[in-house]
Amino acid sequence: MPTVRAHKPVNNFQAQFHRSWGHLNDPHVRALAWLLVAPDLLDPHAPQWQGKIAALPAGMLAGIYAWLTAMDSEPAELHRYLDLQPFARLGRYAEKLMAFYLERQNVLFAHSVQVRAGKNSTIGEFDFLLHLDDQLVHWEFATKFYLLESSGAGNDADYFVGPNLADTLGAKMHKILDRQLLLSAHPAAQIHLPEHVSKAQALVKGWLFYPDVDLEMNACGTAHEHCRGFWCACSDLAHLRAERYAILPRLQWLAPASLPLAQTMDQQTLQEYLSEYFVHDTMPVLVALLEVKNGTGLETSRGFIVPDDWRTRAGQRIKLAHPLV
């Protein structure tokens, strides 16, 4: 059974975020704040990333406190830009938030540009084309959530699997580095480029989740201060300790939660809900553990609750990529 003493914060990122940005009330402004200030997921100096990891330039973040605070009081412009539709995908939501910011910083040349060879053949898509330091730069942007498989066989990117087991962090980065970041060299892309692309990099944000909430190890290739949480099986839920709990819908996965108490629940209610949920669904559920301050539930830690057979299926998923494990 994993160690899930989850009343203890995994690191102090949530506390830091609440101190700096707790005054923000609009959920989309809070999500944008997280995208801008959260630690990057990957270590740009790790050799496996080939020097292709981007970071927001420090100078670009000057003045964001006042800017975000003003937008929080009048968020209509951001809401119109997002133009959220039912069942919006989290990745596309995060991408539009970042596009809004880059556009307001006057560095965005183009966003979400599809490259086609003929009517029915899509070669790829530029997430962002930016003017930085008088150069045209291509950024691929990803916001990802992965769980470390618990066999202990490894802790590099290939051992982090998506909640739905569809991919791994290693496979995602392989696709970005070896295919998506080469898009500007394709002949069909040239019509979209006013000049040579001087640099192609990946900006990667997200959270990684570990089977032991007190795990101090850093996964190979990840940034030291990356946002992290835990994961545990539904049958281990009773070992969690928090004042209140909340199930986070997908579009609330970015920033640490700050919720009215009416949107929270006690552990028994959470247990009953998840026990019924996993009868019909195998998709893990992201749960925020909350402390109550001034009538508000503030996230202190977060974790994916998985069905009891998820650990076995995750191990099988890893063996497909690592047959000798």
15-62 pLDDT, tens digit each:
999 999 999 999 999 999 999 999 999 999 999 999 999 999 989 999
The residue segments making up the domain with residue 111 are: 13-321
Residue 321 CA to chain centroid, in angstroms?
23
Instruction: Kindly state whether residue 200 falls inside one of the protein's structural domains.
Output: yes
Query: Both tokens of residue 297?
Result: 């539930």
Q: What is the mean pLDDT of residues 128-135?
A: 96
Instruction: Kindly state whether residue 7 falls inside one of the protein's structural domains.
Output: no
Instruction: Kindly state whether residue 6 falls inside one of the protein's structural domains.
Output: no
pLDDT at 9: 42
Instruction: Kindly state whether residue 303 falls inside one of the protein's structural domains.
Output: yes
162-173 pLDDT, tens digit each:
999 989 999 999
194-214 pLDDT, tens digit each:
999 999 999 999 999 999 755
Instruction: Kindly state whether residue 97 falls inside one of the protein's structural domains.
Output: yes
Instruction: Kindly state whether residue 137 falls inside one of the protein's structural domains.
Output: yes
Instruction: Kindly state whether residue 28 falls inside one of the protein's structural domains.
Output: yes
216 pLDDT more than 60: no
Residue 289 CA to chain centroid, in angstroms?
18
191 pLDDT more than 60: yes
Three-state SS at 182: helix
Which residues are paired to 293 by β-bridges?
Answer: 296
Q: What is the mean pLDDT of residues 7-12?
A: 52
Instruction: Kindly state whether residue 309 falls inside one of the protein's structural domains.
Output: yes
pLDDT at 321: 64
Say how many domains are in the chain.
1
Q: Which residue in 41, 84, 32, 7 sits closest to 218, CA to CA? A: 41
Mean pLDDT of the chain, nearest integer = 91
Do 100 and 162 form a contact (C-beta atoms < 8 A)? Answer: no
107-124 pLDDT, tens digit each:
999 999 999 987 778 899
